[in-house]
Amino acid sequence: MRILVPNQIPDFLIILFARLPGFCSKEHFPVIQQNCNFVFGLDFECWTRVCGLILTIPVKMKNLPDNNLRIICAAALIVLLKTGLAYGQANGTEMPGIVQNDGRFALLVDGKPFFMLGGQSGNSSTWPRVLPDVWKTIDSINANTLEIPVYWNQVEPQPGRFDFSMIQMLLDQARERNKRLILLWFATWKNGSNHYMPEWMKLDSKRYPNIVGKDGKPVDSPSPHSKDAMEADAKAFAEVMNYLKSADPEHTVIMVQVENEPGSWGSVRDYSGTAQKLFEQPVPKALLNPQTLRELNVPPDAKGTWKEVFGKNADEYFHAWSVASYIEYVAASGKAVNPLPIYVNAALRDPLTNPDASQYESGGATDNVIPVWKAAAPSIDLVAPDIYLQGDERVLKIIDLYSRPDNALLVPETGSNVKYLYKVIEKGIGYSPFGVDGRRHGTAGDRNAPLAREYKLLGPMMPQLAKWGFEGRIHSVVEPEDHSEQRINLGNWEAVITFGMGRRFASAQENTSPKTATGKAMVIKLGDNEFIAIGTNSRFTFNPIGINKGKAWQYLKVKEGYYENGEFQLLRELNGDETDWGGPYIGEEPSILHITLVTR
């Protein structure tokens, strides 16, 4: 148990309130609560009393001078302290949440930073006789989290009759294996279609319509303008979240994905009569925020209809707003009963060529409409890219576009290539390849082997990685397609990463055929002269810069090892041939080096 003392109050206030926008209202309490839990371990009873006091402060927090803010909140805390309340950790049952600091994010699980080393099952794996193979795969790849669908048609086979037996089975089996869960709510949308709606809804297409294309023909995608469908989805989702609230007090489920790759293929938007009437109305005020309009390359004072404000992008932006607003209603209904972190995943467009919306899934949270989603769906904690694009430039661009000051990076789906794993660890809160159980592509087999090796190495140091990422200590590079060296500024040292065996073995490589660029490296700054280096097919050396510039230097010590119970364990010290010839080298098998440098 940790106790608040008076000299902690200034930092406490900064962490609680310095970044809160707008008014101190109930919608901000989950953010404040998670910051409390992260720093001090406030239990729920103490937290609710803090909320009660804060509600009595009718001020606009962001406009208060720091000193006044400190006085007001310190007074509230002093009152609590004088009542004899202990501020303690709630026995590992705190609500998972996402916290932010200086543009970096952490996912908190049991009050501590957590990085999801995940694996997503195939779409049709949530069945009793299939789950044993799913868990066998999750164990074999050393994942700490399983992402797995929950099907609306399975949960509500008849209107108002709910079956949570599969959810309970997932909870029980995850706990038996000490794994976490992220549940994927396959409901109104799955890959742009309504195929997981219950049968009783599919049989009533008039009440639960699909969209109509520009040519007047029906499109295999649900209309975001169906109030009946939206309310039915919201009701079912709230029932699921309420069940989790009672059945999962220890928070085996750490996040929930609402829908799956929502949007539409085959039509940029719904052109039905209902949709057209809405399209011809003025753009909602919530989207006319000047900052949002600037992000959308629109004059900040623009007003009018969708066509008048957004021109050639009007159809896509209208559809994105409509889909996001529908999902906001669903997500808010769930969060009202159980405020777990909620995200929406996105099928991506090419971020380099700005293709027409008819060439990708329109209406989803693609990079060009993230501001629309943020305005329409405040209950969504983040939008997450499903990365199947190829090539360093595209993938790294997507990672940057979804690493925003208002959006934590999560990669809930990707292929089997682990080249970008370290970059996601540097910038994000979780990573999960799709279909690890092999149900879509046949046997998983060797396809999962690189992932299993990475997770085996990184899993025991996951708490440290999550903490270091939140503190901004992690830096990563990938081997470019031209195999050129990469440099990382570490203050008074520059890490130089080369790929391949190095100059001593250059002659042996001269006649080899061109090699695929698969190398990657991650350098973690522990201190001014102390670093952790992790990589594959990478060689590490350093240049003295900053106050070390021009000085002679050497490796004081290079240790190869692994993590166990949060502590580095020594395998051996590297020297001689293992550190000469361009610095220590890590081959195909990922490894951890603890490097200490010294100037002479």
Q: Looking at the predicted structure, is the pLDDT value of residue 13 above 50?
A: no
Exposure b/e, 418-433, CB count within 10 A at least 16 = b: bbbbbbbbbbbbbbbb
Q: Greater confidence, 7 or 358?
A: 358
Short-list 175, 122, 124, 67, CA closest to 432: 122
Confidence class for position 97, pLDDT limits 50, 70, 90: very high
- Using DSSP, state whether 122 is helix, strand or coil: coil
> Two tokens at 440?
């879509």
* CATH number attached to the domain at 106-470: 3.20.20.80
Give the per-residue pLDDT at 1. 24
Query: Which amino acid belongs to residue 36?
Result: C
Domain boundaries, the chain: 6-91, 106-470, 474-599
Q: Phi-psi region for residue 354, left (φ > 0), alpha (ψ -120 to 50) or beta?
A: left
Angle in degrees, CA 482, 487, 493, rounded to 5: 165
Question: How far apart are the C-alpha atoms of 569 and 254, rounded to whole Å?
Answer: 30
Q: Looking at the predicted structure, is the pLDDT value of residue 25 above 90?
A: no
Contact 441, 421 (CB under 8 A): no
> Two tokens at 103?
């543009």
Q: Looking at the predicted structure, is the pLDDT value of residue 70 above 90?
A: no
Handedness of CA 452, 107, 399, 585 (dihedral sign): negative
Pairing of strands 538-544, 585-586: antiparallel
Q: What percent of the chain has pLDDT over 90?
A: 79
Question: How far apart are the C-alpha atoms of 17 and 34, rounded to whole Å?
Answer: 12
Return the DSSP state at 94: P
How confident is the model over 453-475, as a mean pLDDT?
98
- The DSSP bridge partners found for residue 99 are 106
Length of the chain: 600
> Two tokens at 289?
């925020």
Q: Greater confidence, 69 or 219?
A: 219
Q: Looking at the predicted structure, is the pLDDT value of residue 127 above 80?
A: yes
Contact 208, 222 (CB under 8 A): yes
Return the DSSP state at 515: P
Question: How far apart are the C-alpha atoms of 253 and 173, rounded to whole Å?
Answer: 12
User: How far is CA 153 from its chain centroid?
Assistant: 27
| Residue 68: C-alpha distances to residues 51, 65, 143 (Å) | 18, 5, 47
Question: How far apart are the C-alpha atoms of 332 and 338, rounded to whole Å?
Answer: 10
pLDDT tens column, 218-234: 999 999 999 999 999 99
Give the per-residue pLDDT at 72. 54
Give the per-residue pLDDT at 326. 98
Q: Looking at the predicted structure, is the pLDDT value of residue 348 above 90?
A: yes
Q: Angle at which helices 131-140 and 165-176 pack, to 10 degrees?
A: 30
Question: How far apart are the C-alpha atoms of 435 and 456, rounded to whole Å?
Answer: 19
Return the DSSP state at 584: -
pLDDT tens column, 427-444: 999 999 999 998 554 455
Other beta carbons within 10 angstroms of residue 570's beta carbon come to: 10
Pairing of strands 116-120, 428-431: parallel
Contact 442, 416 (CB under 8 A): no
Pairing of strands 382-387, 342-347: parallel
Confidence class for position 586, pLDDT limits 50, 70, 90: very high
> Two tokens at 274?
């209902």
Q: Looking at the predicted structure, is the pLDDT value of residue 489 above 50?
A: yes
Give the per-residue pLDDT at 439. 58
**Per CATH, domain 474-599 is 3.90.550.10:** no
The DSSP-derived string for 517-567 is ---EEEEEE-SSSEEEEEEESEEEEEEE-GGGTT--EEEEEEEEEEEETTE
- The DSSP bridge partners found for residue 599 are 553
Contact 523, 425 (CB under 8 A): no
How confident is the model over 90-114, as a mean pLDDT?
89
| Residue 335: C-alpha distances to residues 69, 176, 339 (Å) | 29, 27, 4
Query: Which amino acid belongs to residue 298?
Result: V
Q: Angle at which helices 9-17 and 29-40 pack, to 10 degrees?
A: 140
Mean pLDDT check: name the lowest of 5-19, 115-129, 158-172, 406-420.
Answer: 5-19
Residue 290 makes CB contacts below 8 A (sequence gap 6+) with 300, 301
Give the per-residue pLDDT at 93. 75
pLDDT tens column, 270-328: 999 999 999 999 999 999 999 999 999 999 999 999 999 999 999 999 999 999 999 99
Confidence class for position 335, pLDDT limits 50, 70, 90: very high
> Two tokens at 570?
């020594």
Report the side by side order of strands in the sheet with 493-499.
Answer: 486-489, 493-499, 538-544, 585-586
Give the per-residue pLDDT at 85. 36
Angle in degrees, CA 322, 325, 329, rounded to 5: 140
Give the per-residue pLDDT at 282. 98
Average pLDDT, the chain: 87
Q: Looking at the predicted structure, is the pLDDT value of residue 370 above 50?
A: yes
List phi, psi (to 5°) of 292: -65, -45
Pairing of strands 342-347, 493-499: unpaired
